[in-house]
Amino acid sequence: MKVYISMRISILIVSVLLASCGLLTPHKLEIRQGNLITPEMLARVKVGMTQQQVKTMLGTPLLNDPLHANRWDYIYRFSQEGKLVEEKRLSLYFENDSLKQIDDKSPEKIAAKADEVEPLKKDNQLEIQK
């Protein structure tokens, strides 16, 4: 009987120590929020389409700002184990129920545009004359 009690106490102490050390972490879910817009879906959307046609292609926008009724924002975020893995932003601008502008603000698109711009070299800088 004493052996079982000491065994139970030992198991309890080891369990508490393992839990306090952080070896056992809770399971974190994958969280997908917003509208996933694939490149194929975006390629089908063209300037000049009506709001209804765009809504049929992409679905209802995540954000529909009453102060900017002519702008629809589609946002997608994917988190895995508590860390942001992917984020995409797409803004569509309408005028008189017709799509006028498509603004893709995804971080990878912004990074690609930044790589295209060459940084200024010291030789090319303008000198200010006094």
What CATH number does the domain containing 37 carry?
3.30.1450
pLDDT for residue 53: 95
The model's pLDDT over 88-105, given as tens digits with 9 standing for 90+, comes to 899 999 999 999 999 988
Q: What pLDDT is attached to residue 97?
A: 92
Q: What is the tally of structural domains in the chain?
A: 1
Domain that holds residue 88: 27-109
CA pair distance 47, 50, nearest whole angstrom: 9
Tell me, yes or no, if the pTM score tops 0.75. Answer: no
Residue 79 β-bridge partners: 31, 84
Asked whether residue 124 is domain-assigned, the answer is no
Whether 73 is covered by a domain: the verdict is yes
Greater confidence (31 vs 119) lies with 31
Residue 22 lies in a domain: no
Q: How many Å apart are CA 48 and CA 41, to the nearest integer? A: 16
CA dihedral 106, 111, 116, 117 (to 10 degrees): 110
Confirm whether 3 is domain-assigned.
no
Is the pLDDT at 116 greater than 70? The verdict is no
Asked whether residue 76 is assigned to any structural domain, the reply reads yes
- Running DSSP on this structure, what letter comes out for residue 54? H
pLDDT at 24: 58
pLDDT per position as a tens digit, 28-70: 778 888 888 888 998 999 999 999 999 999 999 887 788 888 9
Cα angle 34, 39, 41 (rounded to 5 degrees) comes to 75
